[in-house]
Amino acid sequence: MINFWQKLPKPFTALAPMENVTDYLFREIIATNLPKPDVLFTEFTNVDSLNSAGVKMALSKLKFSLRQKPIVAQIWGTNPENFFKSAKIIKDLGFDGVDINMGCPVRAVVKTGACSALINNRPLVKEIISATQKGANNLPVSVKTRIGVKEAVTNDWITFLLEQNIDALTIHGRTARQMSDVPANWEEIAKAVEIKNATSPHTVVIGNGDVKSYDQILEYHKKYKVDGVMIGRGIFSNPWVFDKNNSKTHSQQEYKEILLKHLSLLRPDQNYESIKKFFKMYINSFKGASALRFKLMATKNVSEASDLLK
Ligand SMILES: Cc1cc2nc3c(=O)[nH]c(=O)nc-3n(C[C@H](O)[C@H](O)[C@H](O)COP(=O)(O)O)c2cc1C
């Protein structure tokens, strides 16, 4: 069956799932006020939380608008039964796909055996993917991973993952141990593309790591033959990073207007402090930006911040 991944243009673009960053409000800004990538992902959401008394909080991470589609929900954990149930919830919510996190290197999650720790636990990976596929009931299931834990094991690991009949695979070109401390290894990503061409041509491969511009997306697509390119931190330095006319520079006014819009989306019941992490992204690259940011950081509510920006 043709799924949405296969209908995307080549190369397609994706905004990386980023905990505490790619929340509903930020995705809404990306979908409506900035150049929109071809795919959006939610922050990672724990499958046990989705199946516990804390479900309300977990579900708030899975809120999206139709403007954000196509959108993929990312989940993490170790319990196959909860992956099955979570995939069902995600299907019912109307997402376009389910993505399983097998890449996060953060100690607190790795300690539980989840995320990048799964790279060394093939029997559990098999169970998790199979349970997710059953729960997703024809919704495409993808995996986001790294090239290894302590060292690159690309051939072995990617061959194994592709045997699980996944619809899409995102590879961040670093080992878990490397965190984000060394440049991403795109040669390893190219190896994964070769494996998929030989063994699972229907699976879509997305490369990830250190991409900062649309020109670079085109270059890496050509050089490393990935179907799509995912950008994470590149959006912090350039919110217009998915603009296909790359070259345009943006005025101070444009940056301020986007922040004003972002502030306007905050509902009264939402924590005002949570939006301050975005100030640096918008108020950064122009003369007087740091003085303005300093004042913005001291504000207590949306109206104080908005007054400073008008
Ligand atoms: C603040 C932050 C939060 C992240 N949260 C997630 C996450 O929830 N799920 C995930 O798969 N990766 C997460 N990542 C990793 C990114 O998706 C991406 O793989 C990584 O940043 C490398 O891409 P980049 O060089 O384009 O930033 C996070 C990265 C950052 C910087």
Asked if residue 11 has a cis previous peptide bond (ω within 30° of 0), the answer is yes
Query: Which residue has its alpha carbon closest to ligand 1 atom 7?
Result: 18
- Domains of the chain by residue range: 4-237, 252-309
Residue with tokens 């300093």: 294
Looking at the CA of residue 144, tell me the nearest atom of ligand 1.
Answer: 11
List Cβ neighbours of 135 (8 Å cut-off, separation of 6 or more): 83, 84, 85, 86, 87, 88, 90, 91, 98
Looking at the CA of residue 210, tell me the nearest atom of ligand 1.
Answer: 25
Residue with tokens 């922040």: 259
As for ligand 1, residues whose beta carbon falls within 6 Å of it are: 16-19, 21, 43-44, 74, 101, 103-104, 144, 172, 208-211, 231-234
Is residue 27 annotated as involved in ligand binding? no
If pLDDT is split at 50, 70 and 90, which confidence band does 268 have?
A: confident
CA 191 / ligand 1 centre spacing (Å): 21
Please write the tens of the pLDDT for every residue from 216-248: 999 999 999 999 999 999 999 999 999 988 767
CA 220 / ligand 1 centre spacing (Å): 19
Check 104, 125, 263, 305 and give the catalytic one: 104
List Cβ neighbours of 141 (8 Å cut-off, separation of 6 or more): 87, 97, 98, 99, 100, 129, 132, 133, 166, 167
CA 232 / ligand 1 centre spacing (Å): 6
Concatenate the DSSP letters of all residues of the chain into one string.
Answer: ---HHHHS-SSEEEEPP-TTTS-HHHHHHHHHTSPPPSBEEEEEEETTGGGSTTHHHHHHTT---GGG-SEEEEEE-S-HHHHHHHHHHHHHHT-SEEEEEE----HHHHTTT-GGGGGG-HHHHHHHHHHHHHHHTTS-EEEEEEEESSSB-HHHHHHHHHTT--SEEEEEEEESTTTTTS---HHHHHHHHHHHHHH-TTSEEEEESS--SHHHHHHHHHHH--SEEEESTHHHH-TTTT-TTTT----HHHHHHHHHHHHHT--TTS-GGGGGGGHHHHSSSSTTHHHHHHHHHT--SHHHHHHHH-
CA 213 / ligand 1 centre spacing (Å): 17
C-beta of residue 229 within 8 angstroms of C-beta of residue 13: yes
Please write the tens of the pLDDT for every residue from 137-182: 999 999 999 999 999 999 999 999 999 999 999 999 999 999 998 9
Average pLDDT score, the chain: 96
Is residue 172 annotated as involved in ligand binding? yes
What's the pLDDT at 69?
A: 98
Query: Which residue has its alpha carbon closest to ligand 1 atom 18?
Result: 232
Looking at the CA of residue 21, tell me the nearest atom of ligand 1.
Answer: 1
pTM of model > 0.95:
yes
CATH class for the domain made up of 4-237: alpha beta
Residue with tokens 């909080």: 57
Query: Which residue has its alpha carbon closest to ligand 1 atom 13?
Result: 18
Q: What distance in Å separates the CA atoms of residue 18 and residue 228, rounded to the nearest whole number?
A: 18
Q: State the pairing for strand pair 97-102/141-148.
A: parallel
Is residue 122 annotated as involved in ligand binding? no
Please write the tens of the pLDDT for every residue from 47-74: 999 999 989 989 999 999 999 999 999 9
Query: Which residue has its alpha carbon closest to ligand 1 atom 15?
Result: 18
Percentage of the chain beyond pLDDT 90 is 94
Please write the tens of the pLDDT for every residue from 5-35: 999 999 999 999 999 999 999 999 999 999 9
Residue 277 has pLDDT above 70, yes or no: yes
Write the single-letter amino acid at 96.
Answer: D
Confirm whether 115 is a catalytic residue. Answer: no
